[in-house]
Amino acid sequence: MSQYRTFTAQDAVEYARQFGGLDDPSSLVEAQEIGDGNLNLVFKIFDSAGVSRIVVKQALPYVRCVGESWPLTLDRARLEAQTLVEHYRHSPQHTVKIHHFDPELAVMVMEDLSSHRIWRGELIKNNYYPLAARQLGEYLAHALFYTSDFYLHPHEKKAQVAKFINPEMCEITEDLFFNDPYQIHERNSYPAELENDVAALRDDAQLKIAVASLKHRFFSHAEALLHGDIHSGSIFVAHGSLKAIDAEFGYFGPIGFDVGTAIGNLLLNFCGLPGHLGIRDAAAAREQRLTDIQELWNTFAERFLALAHEKTRDAALGAPGYASAFLKKVWHDAIGFCGTELIRRSVGLSHVADIDTIQDEAMRHECLRHAITLGKALIVIADRIDSAEDLVARVRQYS
């Protein structure tokens, strides 16, 4: 991309003035870079009164936390913008709005969500948003149903699959979820005290076969346009509102991957809560996480089935009972993918603050061990867990 240049704060201000869609663009005067992820620059653009009005996001041509030795395609910015635009079409109340996108500069201008908070931080602080889990279920149901074979004409679906092919970002997922934690690899990161637990992952033949099956489904099941990285750090919440952001891993894949990743992050919070709260508060918050998981799945399944009943365009897929049978497969996939999220966030390159910010080292190690044990169990027994209530019982069994 010959026009590409890395933005400075002033570049971001000038770009927002041009493409932010504000009535008075000259009121934008200052930018603050707030990106805390591994892949992008993110600027909040403030007006003369100090109010954040718009966000400018630019993809970097490398992994930020590693540097230029790990290059990345800038085309992921196009894929992110187009994924969010497509999801916004079907779930505008729960998807960040993209105002403008420039593929040459790998820059997008999006709505400011300063009235919201990142859900992961709120979960760690035990700030409860009673609608969040149901709203996440609604977002997933609408975004995934309307980009699936149930709704899209086969010709359109195939064209969409080609449009959203995302091999470089998918390779990152494939490595971090399904390869690295189950072998000795330089990207893995975990305390030496957990070496025996991690070595047991590498030596477990049954587990590795189950992980291989999950990876194969990730490769080959182009069921819907996934967000691809829908964790609690890529979700903003406010009272009565939830918005999904950060979809650079978007591609057509198995629906259970998005659902399982979302559930997995609620379980990571479940595992880490004893390190952040007192015994009584942690116990109550853990019960709330389990309720959140049930509400997320039950809302997703109810909404998806209702949409399938009303909107399915394919005669065969509209056969009575087929959508319910399909969701059973999605559920079992989701439990397996949930387990891989628990393990990769404990053993691999990218950890979560739910556990990493626990101050007491021994407690932090115990919470990591819990996540590994729970993740391993869920992967192996995924096909024997038949409902959200059954999952909750299994989580309690391994806690």
Binding residues are: 40, 57, 111-113, 229, 246-248, 344
The annotation places the binding site for substrate at 229, 344
- Residue recorded with tokens 């005290």: 193
Query: How many beta carbons lie within 10 A of that of residue 24, not counting itself?
Result: 10
Token pair listed for 97? 């709005």
R_g of the chain computed on alpha carbons: 21
Helix residue ranges per DSSP H, the chain: 9-19, 75-90, 119-124, 132-145, 154-163, 167-173, 195-202, 205-220, 255-272, 279-311, 322-347, 353-356, 361-381, 388-397
The annotation places the binding site for ATP at 40, 57, 111-113, 246-248
Region of 30 on the Ramachandran plot (φ > 0 left; ψ -120 to 50 alpha; else beta): beta
Report the SS3 class of residue 253: strand
Residues 6+ apart with CB under 8 A from 27: 47, 48, 53
- Residue recorded with tokens 């997995």: 264
Task: Please state whether beta strands 28-33 and 67-71 pair in parallel, antiparallel, or not at all (unpaired).
Answer: unpaired
